[in-house]
Amino acid sequence: MGNAAVSLQKYVDLEEQIRKLNAIGIALSSERDLGKLLELIATEARAFTNADGCSLYIKDEEKLNFAVAQTESLQKRDGKREPFKSFSLPLTKESIAGYVAVTGEVLNIEDVYTIPANIEYRVNKQFDKNNNYRSKSMLAVPMRDNAGEIIGVLQLINSLDCSDHIIPFNPELESIILSLASQAAVAIRNVKLIEDIKNLFRSLVRYSIKAIDARSPHTAGHSGRVAKYCVRMAHAINEEPEGRLGQIKFSAQEIEELRMAGWLHDIGKIGVRESILEKTNKLTANQIEVISERFEGIKNQVNARFIEKKFEALFENKSVPDSLDIERRQAIAEIDEALNFIKRVNIPGHLKEEDRIHLKKTAEKTYLNSKGEKRTYLNPKEYESLSIIRGNLTPSEYEEMQSHVLQTIGILDKIPFTKELQNIPQYAAGHHEYLDGTGYPRGLKGDEISIQSRIMCIADIYDALSSTDRPYKKALPIEETVNILRNEVKAGKLDGDIVEMFIRRKLYQKTSFQEDED
């Protein structure tokens, strides 16, 4: 071949290599999963050099972590990949990878078994012994990121010729592999940076929400548990073999999005007053104490009035009739009975009509306060609270409690979520919507409610029913919780397929889903 032909061939080869390197660069920069990225780097580096094996080490402070191992001939021979055992090397010049990481030099070794004794590094023959393998030629290059920092080492083992004989690595490939290792380093750095930011965001969300939930024992830990139940349901749906749910598949990304929506669904409760979040009964303990003191005062007045009457009788008739004392005791007993009645109806739940009438009469009774002004036994606000027919919140308190969804939407709509998390506001917005249109805030119906919002609605109700938020409050037994959920399905509010799957697979119990931790 003439000189011109040789240089033309070199030019063609170089162009081909640049084209390949470019394609690899694009592939590397678009992989977002660190594990897959490392595998891709090893595969591409092997392909470039026709190497049988490749190992990747990633630097972690004072050590090198063994991250990936590929050995094609072993895989072919054993029909499977050798089990990957993670280990780390000290960041010293004694190992080949350590030497490269410390010095930044490229090592191109013809035979790692004949390294002269005066050289600082040694090959570790353990892998060869364990796998009945012979490592011979080796090319180890540092992986430098864009700031020039070495983040790891790429180690290629046994370059093969076209008849699969081991040959030394071509020195001309060194600069290309070095360049590929650099591209890999930048890609690894980027993926780690994205993971760090994601973790930072996750932690920020978790800790802020835990703090918001902890404002009231009623809600402490609620959002984290809702997120957990949501993730369990999504995994379980993915495992459903048939039926309507069998058609639905959530990707890992979609599950992550649902988990975050679970964490964030009640963030709007930050705008609901603690006195409302805290409410257990119709009146708070403080309000009951105020009423008790008022009634003590009323009794004192009654006693004082009867003492006056006694004096009047003594003065006029020189004796006190027995009826006066009977009358006094009766009056005091009536006041005690009124207070006991108030305490008895001060519980959440249904107020009977006869109790409501009696409550009205009691509330309207009057006494004179210390200034001699006429006052009713209960003020209008106290009466309004006690006369709640269902639950324990007055209409205005109920409205404030329900407004948490609007506030959740208001907050989440302002967060610039990434594309993968963009549906969080929509899923969270639907967590109190019922299929029959009786939910809030929008009264959405049927198909207007996403599967994710349906899942969240079930998780939310289940957690509210099952949690023990006070030392003296017992959680409902599971049979009762199950009945309530099924009744909500019958009433047309909850998705029956998901509720039945939740019950059938006992998703309320601890499961083996790995993603369950938090």
Which residues inside 251-280 make contact with Fe ion, applying CB under 5 A?
Answer: 266
In the complex, what is the shortest distance from the CB of residue 295 to Fe ion, in angstroms, rounded to a whole number? Answer: 37
Listed residue (157, 61, 72, 60) closest to 107, CA to CA: 157
Amino acid at 344: R
How far apart are CB 408 and Fe ion at their closest, in Å?
7
Query: Which are the contacts of 422, defined by CB distance < 8 A and separation ≥ 6?
Result: none
User: Binding string to Fe ion for residues 288 to 327, with x set by CB under 5 A, is what?
Assistant: ----------------------------------------
Nearer to Fe ion by Cβ, of 333 and 475: the residue is 475
The pair phi, psi for residue 143, each rounded to 5°, is: -100, 105
Q: Give me the residue label for tokens 């070495």.
A: 150
Residue in the structure block whose two tokens are 């519980």: 347
Nearer to Fe ion, 215 or 309 (CB): 215
Q: Which amino acid is at 73?
A: S
Smallest separation (angstroms) from Fe ion to the CB of 266: 4
> With DSSP H G I counted as helix, E B as strand and the rest as coil, what are the percentages for the chain, rounded to 5?
60, 10, 30
Interface stretch with Fe ion, choices 86-94, 362-370, 457-465, 470-478 (CB under 5 A): 457-465
d(CA 341, CA 416): 53
- Among residues 56 and 428, whose Cβ is nearest to Fe ion? 428
Tell me the one-letter amino acid at 352: K
Q: Which is nearer to Fe ion, 145 or 266 (CB)?
A: 266
412 — phi, psi (to 5°)?
-65, -30
Give the per-residue contact string, 478-507, with Fe ion (x = CB under 5 A; - = no). ------------------------------
Residue 208 CB, nearest approach to Fe ion (Å):
15
Cβ at position 414, least distance to Fe ion in Å: 19
CB count within 10 Å of CB 61 equals 6
Number of residues that bind Fe ion (CB under 5 A): 2
Q: Which is nearer to Fe ion, 60 or 399 (CB)?
A: 399
**Which one-letter amino acid corresponds to residue 74?**
L
Which residues inside 458-477 make contact with Fe ion, applying CB under 5 A? Answer: 460
User: How far apart, in whole angstroms, are the C-alpha atoms of residue 226 and residue 429?
Assistant: 14
Regarding 213 and contact with Fe ion (CB under 5 A), the answer is no
**Contact status, residue 57 vs residue 97, Cβ threshold 8 Å:** yes
Helix spans in 265-321 (H): 274-277, 285-317
Please say which residue, 20 or 210, places its beta carbon nearer to Fe ion: 210
Least CB distance from residue 126 to Fe ion, whole Å? 54
In this complex, which beta carbon is closest to Fe ion, that of residue 44 or of residue 266?
266
Query: What is the nearest approach in angstroms of Fe ion to the Cβ of residue 401?
Result: 9
Q: Which residues bind Fe ion (CB under 5 A)?
A: 266, 460
